[in-house]
């Protein structure tokens, strides 16, 4: 791993429970420097909504980027991360709201953003841990279910190392842009890669409608029988209807 990121430490470990858990532990212990922690293997990888994240050693890219952030508004942070990753990886990588990377209607990768507070009084702030898992090599078909997408489906020569080289610096720059300007500069870029756009979607509360891109704050706009609904990730999950 030859990645160098100006102003950011880069650490690579063979095995860890979860790169997100490790950077959250460090933040709670007062270690709040900028760091990109890459693991070849995670024994307790975590996904969104309390799910696990299973990845195969050498066949996926798993890392977390930890940094202090002080945006005026945190809305849309994980969507901005998705925009940056998709743009760095390949023109055919799409975004499924809120922050899955998709290729040809299958999941390529996921993002888990967590934050921890540090300091007190005037020195208080928040440390963000941006965790990313991307499938690099295709998983063999088992016949049980459709395998997830892999980056090598699009670019057979890509490896976890070359993918990380490509996305590291732009990701850091995107986080700095988000801190300064919020989600606004990412809105049109998200919508350009939105795989749900103009598709029928089903919300987890049972509502059905047509997806119409994301708002300035990164909420999903869904046209339902009751009018346009602004969906935030804490409310519902969404899936395309076949
Ligand atoms: C999701 O789609 O549910 C999000 C998956 C995020 C997985 C990454 S892998 C690196 C980092 N460490 C973790 O435990 N999770 C994130």
The Cα-based distances of 89 to 19, 22, 42, 113, 134 in angstroms read 21, 26, 22, 19, 10
**In this predicted structure, what is the pLDDT of residue 149?**
95
Domains 9-192 and 200-240 share a fold: no
For ligand 1, the distance from its centroid to the CA atom of residue 122, given in whole angstroms, is 32
Alpha-helix runs per DSSP H in the chain: 19-28, 77-89, 160-181, 184-193
Q: What angle do CA 25, 55, 178 make, to 5 degrees?
A: 55
6 Cβ contact partners less than 8 Å away, ≥ 6 residues apart: none
| pTM assigned to the model | 0.94
Instruction: Show the tokens assigned to 185.
Output: 């500069």
Please tell me if the CB atom of residue 209 comes closer than 6 angstroms to any atom of ligand 1.
no
Instruction: Show the tokens assigned to 81.
Output: 């991360």
Give the strands of the sheet with 227-231, arranged side by side. Answer: 227-231, 220-224, 208-214, 200-203, 238-240
CATH code of the region 9-192: 3.30.930.10
**In this predicted structure, what is the pLDDT of residue 144?**
64
**In this predicted structure, what is the pLDDT of residue 234?**
59
**In this predicted structure, what is the pLDDT of residue 136?**
97
The closest-lying atom of ligand 1 relative to the alpha carbon of residue 47 is: 3
Residue-by-residue pLDDT tens, the chain, 242 positions = 678 899 999 999 999 999 999 999 999 999 999 999 999 999 999 999 889 998 888 899 999 999 999 999 999 999 999 999 999 999 999 999 999 999 999 999 999 999 999 988 988 999 999 999 999 999 877 766 778 999 999 999 999 999 999 999 999 999 999 999 999 999 999 999 999 999 999 888 888 999 999 999 999 999 999 999 999 875 566 777 66
**In this predicted structure, what is the pLDDT of residue 240?**
72
- Tokens 């690579």 belong to 12
**In this predicted structure, what is the pLDDT of residue 159?**
96
Please tell me if the CB atom of residue 18 comes closer than 6 angstroms to any atom of ligand 1.
yes
Annotate 77-105 with b (16+ C-beta within 10 A) or e (fewer): bbbbbbbbbbbbbbeebbbbbbbbbbbee
Active-site positions read 48, 107, 239
What are the sequence ranges of the domains in the chain? 9-192, 200-240
For ligand 1, the distance from its centroid to the CA atom of residue 52, given in whole angstroms, is 8
Residue 44's SS3 state is coil
**In this predicted structure, what is the pLDDT of residue 205?**
83
Class of 200-240 in CATH: mainly beta
**In this predicted structure, what is the pLDDT of residue 199?**
93
Please tell me if the CB atom of residue 76 comes closer than 6 angstroms to any atom of ligand 1.
no
Is the Cβ–Cβ distance between 196 and 211 less than 8 Å? yes
């Amino acid at each position: 791993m030859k990645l160098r990121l100006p102003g950011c430490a880069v650490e690579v470990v063979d095995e860890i429970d979860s790169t997100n858990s490790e950077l959250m532990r460090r933040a709670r212990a007062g270690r709040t420097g900028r760091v990109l922690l890459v693991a070849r293997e995670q024994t307790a990888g975590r996904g969104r909504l309390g799910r696990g994240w299973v990845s195969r050693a050498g066949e996926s890219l798993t890392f977390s980027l930890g940094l202090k952030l002080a945006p005026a508004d945190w809305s849309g942070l994980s969507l901005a991360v998705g925009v940056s990753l998709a743009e760095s990886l390949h023109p055919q990588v799409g975004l499924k709201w809120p922050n899955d990377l998709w290729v040809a209607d299958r999941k390529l990768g996921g993002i888990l953003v967590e934050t921890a507070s540090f300091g007190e009084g005037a020195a208080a702030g928040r440390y963000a841990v941006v965790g990313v898992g991307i499938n690099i090599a295709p998983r063999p078909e088992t016949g049980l279910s459709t395998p997830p997408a892999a980056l090598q489906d699009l670019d057979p020569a890509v490896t976890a190392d070359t993918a990380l080289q490509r996305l590291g610096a732009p990701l850091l720059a995107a986080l700095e842009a988000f801190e300064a300007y919020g989600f606004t500069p990412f809105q049109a870029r998200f919508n350009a890669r939105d795989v749900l756009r103009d598709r029928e979607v089903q919300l987890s509360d049972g509502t059905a409608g047509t997806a119409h891109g994301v708002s300035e704050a990164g909420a999903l706009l869904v046209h339902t029988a009751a009018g346009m609904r602004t969906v935030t990730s804490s409310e519902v999950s969404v899936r395309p209807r076949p």
